[in-house]
Amino acid sequence: MCGIVGAFSPSRATLAEDIYLGLYALQHRGQEAAGIAWTNEDGEIVCRKGPGLVHAALDQAEMSRVTCRSAVGHVRYATAGGSAACNIQPLTANTLARGSFAVAHNGNLPDAPAQRRVLERSGALFQSSSDTELILHLISHQPERPFPEALMQALGQVKGAYSLVFLHDDKLIAARDPWGFRPLALGRRGDITYVASESCAFDLLGAQMIRDLEPGEIVVIDESGCRSYMLPYASERKYHCAFEYVYFARPDSVIDGVSVYEARKNMGRALARSCMGTLCGSSALTSPLVTGLPDSGTIAALGFSEESGIPYESAIVRNRYSGRTFIEPTQRVRELGVLKKLNPMRQLIQGRDLIVIDDSIVRGTTSLKVARLLREHCGAKGVHMCVSSPPVAFPCFYGIDTPSRKELIAAQLHGDALRERLGVDSLFYLSREELVAAVGMEERHLCTACFDGKYMESPPACGCSRF
């Protein structure tokens, strides 16, 4: 999971600062590094990038002075390739046959290591360990083809999830994989066209969202306008990532026609309907209170409270200067992050049964620490954990850093064993069917592989026609 932004203007404008602001809106999608690339007056690509949050990695004052016609940006959450500085995006390439180009990528290409070995045996030199660089090499190995056609051919050779933005020849080019796994949308402000992972970036830029890119669509944006092409192969079904609606995306975004806010509230309502009979029937609850684990559990908690009639309070306060613990790079930092990130309010909790709504339980780090805090330090009479998604029991190969089932607590423990490990009195999950209904998307269009292990199929082999 990363965040990408692109911009094109028919006349020179302060697009680098626009990209900076767009990345700021997408900071929740990646906190390890950030970068911006743009095309200067000589047609050369200039790139600035560094580790950390957007404001630390990039100099906003410098970005505000840059005028250009095209630019792209990236916030990084490391999956393939790890956190090394050479993997910070955008990645750039300089070739004699094709000139300079740059790419920013959200997604993951599981077959990239095998393809990389083949290219290296034929003499290719890789500068990073990122799977994204594979696409650069596949394009560069077709010097006789126009760039969009070379891109088509390259994408026909990769498997996995990708939303991409490219700079080439003062053009902005965007592409989305045939399954539509990761989000990508078009927006516009005046004569400037934007591409971004989420619509919330357009809101900050004062732009209007035009539409989502279709799965398998390539859009070329230059001074002649916006041209759309479709990859000449299609998947049997769409695989929009369900976890975008559960956790990744900002609640004020609309992705593939679905309001993330409404989806999460629906999840909370469905969770209340499914567990309230058991929860209230098991024992009398003492002055029950609903609260959400901020921030991504908060909206589901509001839906749960509305449906159940149990009052909601913001009983757990989030330190706004702390990042998202799930996407921290190491277990030690994740554990410390829980303690510095969340502070329960004793005066609201003591002596009461607390119904805690979380969006998901992945490694179990946050849930275990929170249950202990609520019980031992805040005097909660009972801690009842209600999760607004199914158990995350399978690794994701398409952009989430869970490469092994050993890291997923729900893959190792079930039922009472899991409840006891987390230290909670009750543990409830949303079913897969309830999740699909809450999102409101056709079941065949939603990827739930991290819950049920049903991964997307590979695209058929294809021959790409010329533009």
Q: Which residue carries 């990130």 as its tokens?
A: 341
Distances (CA, A) of 199 to 8, 183, 439: 17, 10, 17
The answer to whether the beta carbons of residues 451 and 444 sit under 8 Å apart is no
The reply to whether omega before 391 is within 30° of 0 (cis) is no
Please give the full DSSP string across 156-178, using - where no structure is assigned. Answer: TT--SEEEEEEEETTEEEEEE-T
Measured CA to CA, the distance from residue 91 to residue 105 in angstroms comes to 9
Measured CA to CA, the distance from residue 245 to residue 177 in angstroms comes to 19
The answer to whether the beta carbons of residues 29 and 73 sit under 8 Å apart is no
Distances (CA, A) of 306 to 89, 119, 264, 301: 43, 56, 13, 9
Amino acid at 184: L
Strands 446-447 and 240-241: parallel
Largest CA distance in the chain: 75
- H-run or E-run covering 429: strand 426-429
The answer to whether the beta carbons of residues 341 and 317 sit under 8 Å apart is no
* Among 2, 68, 200, 378, the one annotated catalytic: 2
Measured CA to CA, the distance from residue 280 to residue 287 in angstroms comes to 12
Mention every residue, 6+ apart, whose C-beta is less than 8 A from residue 322: 337, 340, 341
Measured CA to CA, the distance from residue 465 to residue 230 in angstroms comes to 11
Q: CB count, 10 Å around CB of 18?
A: 27
Segments in 6-52 forming alpha helices (H): 15-25
Q: Side by side, which strands form the sheet with 426-429?
A: 289-292, 353-358, 382-387, 426-429
- DSSP class of residue 390? -
Please give the full DSSP string across 232-259, using - where no structure is assigned. Answer: S---SS--EEHHIIIIIS-TT-EETTEE
Respond yes or no: is residue 462 known to be catalytic. no
Q: What region does 288 belong to: left with phi over 0, alpha with psi -120 to 50, or beta?
A: beta
Give the 3-state secondary structure of residue 101. Answer: strand
| Catalytic (active-site) positions | 2
